[in-house]
Amino acid sequence: MPESPDAIAERAYPLLLAGLAFAVFLAVTAVAMLGPLLVDMASALGTTVPVAVQLVTAASAVWAATALVAGPVSDAYGRKPVIVLGLCFLAAGSLGIGLAPTFAAAMGFSLLVGIGGGMVPPICVSLVGDLIAARRQPMSIALLTMQPGVSVLLGVPLAAVLGEYAGWRFPFLAVGSALLLAALLLLAFVPHRKPPADRVTLAGRIGRVAAFPVTWYMAGVNILARTAWGAVITLLPPFLIVAYGLRKVETALPMAVVALWMAAAPLLGGRIGRLRKRLPVTAALLLAAAIPGLGVFFLDWGAWFSVSAAGLLMLLVVPVTTVLMILIAETGGESRGTLAGVVSSSNWGGMAAGAAIGGVLVDHIGYGAVSFLLAGAVLASGLLMVCAVTEKAVARTRARFAPAPDGR
């Protein structure tokens, strides 16, 4: 008798989880590495840094829109084809940016990166819920949600170094090649799982999760928190270059320090996710994040003060995504792909908002104004969580998506 997908996944758990983490790491790196490369890209492609920032905005906005569709498609037709295709789109987009002759061409390929990116992280979270034992899910999800921090710790500094010595195009070519490798790995390690026989329409699946206001409250909490994340990741490297005269390669160490805090934050989120009071604790962290948020760009106390404030901000803000993904893995049932897509969409909707609004503020007011964006976003996120994302609301969602007694 052939092994079931669950048995295969349990036996290959380390390789499966490593492959999923590698995929998320590369997907985030494909967008986040734009930060230290923006100055050279703008010069080479005949534009300005505030305009070049819109490459991040475009990729993140398309990522957000695609995630809404990728989740329900994977619920209906299976996770494996969606995640492998997404990695191929990411690879094509990264390679295309590396070869782009004009800013318009780079913008087109950045949209392809966004399409592929929207198909990868939410499906990885859904695969954890589908294939990995419940006892392992919180820390498995924490490992996935820490990959943006690992990306900034390793991927972005490496891109800065490669860009300094081999030109800004080379990092995109390297990441594109690695994404093709990731596609092959997941093609080998993700078991085929037969999708449900009842293939509800795409609109029907989205409507099923949209019927619960808490779905959109969770998305709102996350998009506001990620607005702060996006502004810091996109604008801190050029801020250090412009305000303190650092060379591009010299931003690698400061961004690595920020990334250490980012990488530790999901582990904190994984521990919080096990607590009885996990939601109020997460909200308290968001509210406290307003204090370091004000110091990142506004207080001219030196480069390392800005870096330290950004790191503390990340430690307080990033755990909310891990906690929300743990809730989805617990409550989503056969709709967890759609729910994960909504939260992933809010991740990159927030990234797009942070990059776009931050770029406008820098262009018209200056970098100091971005600190007020950070503080306002995290305060609004924490207050929304206190008021709307409660244990009672989560319990109603769990009851809605729990399998019926007859298994249907």
Q: What is the pLDDT of residue 408?
A: 43
Query: Which residues of the chain fall short of a pLDDT of 50?
Result: 1, 197, 404-408
pTM: 0.72
pLDDT single digits (tens) 287-340: 998 888 888 887 777 788 888 888 899 889 988 888 888 877 776 666 667 777
pLDDT single digits (tens) 165-202: 888 899 999 999 999 999 998 888 877 666 554 555 55
Q: What is the pLDDT of residue 160?
A: 83
3-state secondary structure 308-334: HHHHHHHHHHCHHHHHHHHHHHHHCHH
Annotation: CATH topology of 5-188+201-401 = Growth Hormone; Chain: A; (1.20.1250)
* Residues present in the chain in total: 408
CA–CA distance, 186 with 48 (Å, rounded to integer) = 38
Q: Which two tokens stand for residue 238?
A: 């050029």
CA 224, 225, 228, 231: dihedral to nearest 10 degrees?
-80
Q: What is the pLDDT of residue 49?
A: 76
3-state secondary structure 163-188: HHHHCCHHHHHHHHHHHHHHHHHHHH
Q: What is the pLDDT of residue 8?
A: 53
Q: What is the pLDDT of residue 6?
A: 52
Q: What is the pLDDT of residue 405?
A: 46
